[in-house]
Amino acid sequence: MKAVADIIRKSFNKHYTCYRFGGDEFFIIGNETDKEKIEYQLRTMTNNLAKMREKGIQLPTVSYGYSIFKGGEKLDFHKTLKEADDQMYHFKRIHKAYAARKAT
């Protein structure tokens, strides 16, 4: 898990702060609200994980979701967290189905 945490931390620029939230979950909090820039940072993380796996380093699979809060309304942390969590589980379902199709 430490290797994954290091990759996550190194994959996001100075506008983000990474926190471990429980056993295998992390929060990455930043002031970026541009969806494309956030997705670029996530691709960087995914690519960095893939590079480590190519070197033979065993890493767990990583699923992610995100939520964008743009202000102008009262911050509801639980709603924001639920949006990211729902997106992460959607990501997991898609990748699980893809892996099942690939295996057959």
Share above pLDDT 70 across residues of the chain, in percent, rounded to a whole number: 100
Tokens of 38: 């956030």
Total H helices, total E strands in the chain: 3, 2
The pTM of the full predicted model, rounded to 2 decimals, is 0.81
Q: Where are the alpha helices (DSSP H) in 1-104?
A: 2-11, 35-54, 77-103
Residue identified by tokens 């959607």 is: 90
Contact 65, 84 (CB under 8 A): yes
Q: What is the pLDDT of residues 37-60, one digit of tens each?
A: 999 999 999 999 999 999 999 999
pLDDT(20) > 90: no
pLDDT at 54: 96
Q: Side chain identity at 103, as an amino acid letter?
A: A
